[in-house]
Amino acid sequence: MSTVLIVGSSRGLGLALVKYCAQIPQISLVLAGARSCSPALEETTQQTNQRVVFIPLDVCDNGSVLKSIEHLPTALQANGLDILINCAGVSSETHGKVAQMSDLSDQLSVNVVGAHNLISSYLPLLQKGKLKKVANISTIYSSLTWAERSDFAPMPAYKISKAALNALTVQYALSYGKEEFTFVAVHPGWLRTEMGGKDAHLSVEEGAEAVWEVISTMDQTHNGSFMNIHIPGSKIYTGGPVPW
């Protein structure tokens, strides 16, 4: 039986992953980390017979991250955490050229520094766990190789911060690979969420299932990879690595 922490779980992909993981028999406990418990998340916790536990956690506040560990069940603190999925992130648009970008510091604070604070704080618990898997939710927009393909999206700070998140993922993979950790960045697809909008390719439920497929099947051979989801029949979501 596995234990999973999903951060950024009050809405969108994080919430959908909480709901999906709560239905998997092999998962004994889903920890739903978020700054606050949204009505949808609260409803989910009430329907799962204590298999989903809300953990107050703000990745932008290292004190909050450290304090969140105090809210963990005693059994988990003793036995460790198996999987950490970091869905926490922010995005915004810049209407003009990149010199007009004014949100880079904020994006880096949440999407990169927040991710580092989260992983480093929970690392001792992950080291006790059986699976030692960490997945950072990234985006295909962060690919430097494919940068021209996403030039239409006026989100330079978001792209830069997620590219930095990918680099952070690789550095953790290099540091802890010999301890049998698997760190990956995952492109979850364009999802119909508040961030993705109603014209996106996939429902958030489809995205959650596809992201979990990546996480559940990845092993140490994938350590330090940037992975695409796989949607059967799709020419975009073909699985396998995304070029850096």
- Whether the model clears a pTM of 0.85, i.e. scores above it, the answer is yes
Comparing 173-177, 210-214, 231-235, the range with the smallest average pLDDT is 231-235
pLDDT per position as a tens digit, 114-156: 999 999 999 999 999 999 999 999 999 999 999 999 888 898 9
| Mean pLDDT of the region 11-30 | 95
pLDDT per position as a tens digit, 41-86: 999 999 887 899 999 999 999 999 999 998 898 878 888 999 999 9
Residue 198 has pLDDT above 90, yes or no: no
Domains and CATH numbers, the chain: 2-228 (3.40.50.720)
Helix H, strand E, coil C: the string for 108-152 is HHHHHHHHHHHHHHHHHHHHHCCCCEEEEECCHHHCCCCHHHHCC
On whether the CB atoms of residues 131 and 222 are closer than 8 A, the answer is no
What is the token pair recorded at 57?
């956690």
Residue 199 has pLDDT above 80, yes or no: no
Tell me how far apart the alpha carbons of residues 179 and 81 are, in angstroms, rounded to a whole number.
15
